[in-house]
Chain A
Amino acid sequence: MSQLLSTLLSGIAQAMPLFLVASGLSLILGVMHILNFAHGAFFAFGAFFLVTLLGSGAPTMLLMVGAILAAGLFVGAVGLVSERLVFRRLYERDHFISLLASYALLLVMEGVALQVWGPNPRTQTQTPALAGAIRFGDITVATYDLVLILAGIAIGGGLWFLIQKTPFGRTVRAVAHDRMMASALGIRAASVGASVFFIGAFLAGVAGGLVAPLVSVEPALGAAFIIQSFAVVIIGGLGSIKGAFVAALTIGIAESAAVSYLPIVTGFSLYIAMAVVLLIRPQGLFGEQKLEGMAA
């Protein structure tokens, strides 16, 4: 029982960064209809930025939190710039072209990472306050896992509030539903596009910052993460943030359970889940309609 709970918690913790990346990807996909390959690079930039900012040595908790937010803002700015320089020029063109452009952007950003940070992997020392584990009765949970879960829920909730309950979220949903009609009604679709890119990139940057202490930070990190995020988006349904949440949780828990109980499928549970979903519901779990899909 206690092992089951530990497995569950660590699975949920693993799911959170995946959810943050996939929800940004899904948001950009749902609103702008752009499959952003460069999202993985956004994520990697977040991790690199955090490592550079904190340098070697163990940061204090406050510093860590500040650095993660700064990583989000930095990557958000990168997202804004890429929207302005690349994607804004392509809105009138085929989605096909923006797909290729985003792949080109991934290569450019990976090249920049290679040039700036070099090919050698880096590690980020964990804050001492978050390095240990907490015991509840006979269940042991890594402290940082709890941080990941809380951060994921807080950010996911914030995103839901932003999209569902604010005037800004209404304009975003309107553009997602029908860009041309929204423009005709006076919504500035271009600025909504820029904001969506900022938010999506911000989420990826925060996820990168959150994950940095757990992984080796290297230029190929983005490419590795983007594939899992794609699978999450396929399972959850294109453009559905709720779908991304459920799919990321399912995959995180399945993966964690695989490690404990069925090591042979470790690393594959994601793809098995995807194949099953595609066979039964090709549009994904929550991918019925665009409008419903945006309901967070």
Chain B
Amino acid sequence: MVKKGVITFIELVVVGIILATSFALFFSQKTTDINYELIETKLVGNDFLVSSFGYNDNIYKSFVENKTQSKYDIEIRDIWGFSSYSLFIDGIVPSTIQVACNCTNETILELNNLFSDPVYVNGRSVNIIFVYSEIPHLGVYESISPGDLLLVWGCMDNNVYISAMKGYILSGRGIINVCDADSSVLTRSVYKEIFGLVDSVPQSTNTVNIEKPNSAYEPVYQPKKFFFELNEQPTFSGTSTWSYSFSNFLASGVHPKPDSDFYNRSIVYVPGQQVAGATINYFGKGGYAIWTANFARKYSSLQDISAEEKKFLLSLILAAADKRGMPDIRYRVKGIPIYYFDVVSEDVFEPYKAVFALYL
């Protein structure tokens, strides 16, 4: 017979288990393990970056100029004591710009002669080399030769493999097209889809202006900052003023305007008219598509172009060049990444990001 109010042994054990479980569940200590090693690694990495990049100019310059850690590798391993690390910098004009050029052999020769001396960006020497490349056409050439940017001297036809060009730009490289675009040229899909040119209007003047940008937020800021801020020799009055006029920049006929935001997309334009002489189109991830009228058509050789025109071309090349840093494959490690952001502005404003991956 079961007595009323008496808990049997089995029931007691069951209740005990439920109580113990509930207790552990509701009253357990909520602790978070602190990863002391991670904190220390990040601190040491940050110490190295602020010490060497902030003040020890040599290491910073080495990485900027060579895009590699090999030159100061011994110093970093032996003196700083980091045996396993990798380091690269994003956002800086590289020390060598390889221009994949879809141009005639004669143009390539003239361009190489024009930029035979290194140019100087924030005190660093930058060499520009032009090598031949095809334009991608579906079923013929489906990729673009590796380089830091593609320069097409002349108008492109309607069979350009647009997906390949978009892929190239989205990988961080830029495309520059020097072309006197008339209404027939603008019907080609590459000019709408890559360069964002949809309209054409008659032009009544051959003088175009380039003006200092008001804001760094717009893509047009990139080529303009190099044009106005770069202390490249020979200097000319344009570097110290807020605007500069080119003459004979536009060919006769019609000239395009960007499909949107005329002033933020036009690098040079006809004063008082919605007519552009050069435009820029931003695809994200650092890639730019730049169209410009052929400002050199009046010269028999590219080597005869004026200092201003050379600087204009240089500004386009520097803006479109691939500025992504990649760790040297010999040293690439999957360590704890530490980021360092800074700006160099000896002449041109260049924000950059250093990524330092470290194992302790």
Asked if A pairs with B, the answer is: no
Chain A residues near B (Cβ < 8 Å)? none
Chain B residues near A (Cβ < 8 Å)? none
